[in-house]
Amino acid sequence: MRLFIALNIPEKLKEDILFLQSKFKKALADVKWVNKDKFHLTLKFLGETQQDALEDILGCISASIAGLKPFRAAFSGTGVFPNIHRPRVVWVGVNEGKEKLDLIAKELEENLEVLGYPKEKRVFTSHLTLGRFKSEKNKAGLIKLVTENEKAKAEIGSFEVKSIDLMQSILHPEGPEYKCIKSICI
């Protein structure tokens, strides 16, 4: 099974992010937009994993959030990865709560490495992916909208983080299906 660890967000916040995404869609760039029901913040991608590893993974997640209390996470700021000269991903960032999410991601990296999951080579950046560029078509227009939004520094929405989820990604020809295997309370 193909697994990842994520922070799922409430429906109200998904609606707010969807509204922002709809503004960006007006650029008519060639982007594969993420559907609202797939909005999440990935903390660690695990990839193909055997069923018998689930209990150890769940133990690592629990250890990674031990001692934390529920906290507020606020989404604000937008940008592109890896940079505006070669944009491949459009994202929305996390402002409030970022340090705690960074800490959880760091702890997950440390604890899961013991199980054989290699550490990410890239620095963790708390973000929610809005879409992925497919071609150069209208790219400049979209980057202009993303940059204008970033300058506005408007908060998109916030919520209280109370759990971290172990997720399964089931690949289908029409796109992945995400299924929560287990939520672990903070």
Residues noted as catalytic = 40, 127
Sheet (strand 40-48) strand order: 40-48, 2-8, 163-170, 177-185
82: cis peptide before it, omega within 30°? yes
**Is 18 in contact with 36 (CB distance < 8 Å)?**
yes
Element (H, E) at 34: none
Q: What is the CA radius of gyration of the chain?
A: 17
Cβ neighbors of 72 (< 8 A, separation 6 or more) are 96, 97, 158, 159, 160, 161
Cβ neighbors of 138 (< 8 A, separation 6 or more) are 27, 28, 29, 30
